[in-house]
Amino acid sequence: MTAGFDIAVIGGGVIGLSLARELAREGARVGVIDAGTEIPPATRAAAGMLAPSFEIAHGESVQGPDNRIGEALYAFSAASLELWPGFAAALQEESGVAIDLRHDGILGVALDEERAGALGRDAAFLRARGAAVEIIDGDEARRLEPGLSPDIVSALHAPRDGQVDPRRLLSALRLSVERVAGAVIPARVVGCVAAGAGFVARLADGGRVEAARLVLAGGASRLPMVAGVPAPPVRPVKGEAIALATPAGASPDAPGLRRVVRAPGAYLCPKSDGRLVIGATEIEGRADLTVDKAAAAALRAAGARAAPGVAGLPLVERWAGLRPGTPDAAPILGAPRQGPGGLYFALGHYRNGVLLAPASARALADDMLGRDGPFDVAPFHPARFA
């Protein structure tokens, strides 16, 4: 079978689908080719936090001197958080799927003075960039979340950070793309060639997809590359997570968390369906999806140090996913300098693809459609790795 589109997107995770939706809304005929369960999307494994105040300020030395990519990434992430309410409302209307967007804030908790000091520095960094975050003491943190441990000494409260349900988000995006002006083709791409004025993607089932332009959005998996185009430096970073069942209704034993809590060694995400998602490990150099029992137990134990009621909750699921990591922890967005015109990368969203999806989709769609837009994606251009 041969199908033809204005734009073909390889990869139907949150990034490929969000971009396809944005392009389809502008009238382009878009085909998303996705390998489905054969190459499970990282998006299905995500906790769904929208957490620029923690993910970006903390961890990758964004606060170091002359870290232009870190500064650009923080600004992009904070801007994406602001796009989420409009993005979610439109998506829910188009698809009829409720994606459980909640802006009920995130608490980063400290169990000792060293961590409290680090959170204080993060808060100062964030406030200097306009974020409405505050440091609160342990009692105030327990007033917000009564299930928290008496050992918590202080917390960084980011009232605008939030979360969505990433699995519902994927369903909503798929439906939206199909209803607006696109198609989702379940197939694995085994080859990409520049042909005539466009591209041909060869499928494992023998089919072909032809398109004037081609976007590579395959997450952490190594996609077949168009001849003459250097492979982008994306590597898998494995993450394991678990879900526990919280009892329905109030219970003295239940952690009763309402908002996301980020603790040393684990984050806890209470979902509206009653699951408490606890994540996540970060393992370099592994591309399998097995879940280590000891890792699952360590996540639960770290969660229980912050919210003791977690210790006794029944396990309902454990899983793993592969984050698409890059050398500087920032995404790779735009047309590579080498190779044929009309080829684009939407790759490397690492730990924050869910958070970044609205901004990435808007920014790359603006670039592809020649529109002026609010985002400067130059810092994320593939040429920085050339």
Ligand X SMILES: Cc1cc2nc3c(=O)[nH]c(=O)nc-3n(C[C@H](O)[C@H](O)[C@H](O)COP(=O)(O)OP(=O)(O)OC[C@H]3O[C@@H](n4cnc5c(N)ncnc54)[C@H](O)[C@@H]3O)c2cc1C
Interaction site with ligand X (CB under 6 A): 10-16, 33-36, 39, 41-43, 45-49, 188-189, 217-221, 223, 239, 241, 279-280, 321, 323-324, 349-355
Which residue, 116 or 310, is less far from ligand X as judged by CB?
A: 310
Write down the least CB distance from residue 65 to ligand X, Å.
27
Give the residues across from 5 on adjacent strands.
211
Counts for the chain of helices (H) and strands (E), in that order:
9, 19
From the list 359, 330, 363, 362, the residue with the least C-alpha distance to 347 is 330
Which residue, 39 or 245, is less far from ligand X as judged by CB?
A: 39
Tell me the three state secondary structure of residue 8: strand
Which residue, 116 or 333, is less far from ligand X as judged by CB?
A: 333
Write down the least CB distance from residue 123 to ligand X, Å.
21
Three-class HEC string of 73-125: HHHHHHHHHHHHHHHHHHHHHHHCCCCCCECCCEEEEECCHHHHHHHHHHHHH
Write down the least CB distance from residue 143 to ligand X, Å.
25
CA 259 to chain CA centroid, Å, is: 18
Which residue, 31 or 41, is less far from ligand X as judged by CB?
A: 41
Write down the least CB distance from residue 212 to ligand X, Å.
19
Write down the least CB distance from residue 291 to ligand X, Å.
10
Cα distance between residue 57 and residue 54, in whole Å:
6
Which residue, 102 or 323, is less far from ligand X as judged by CB?
A: 323
Give the residues across from 324 on adjacent strands.
236
Write down the least CB distance from residue 346 to ligand X, Å.
7
Q: Are 223 and 10 in contact (CB under 8 A)?
A: yes
Which residue, 305 or 323, is less far from ligand X as judged by CB?
A: 323
Give, for 366, the enclosing helix (H) or strand (E).
helix 353-369
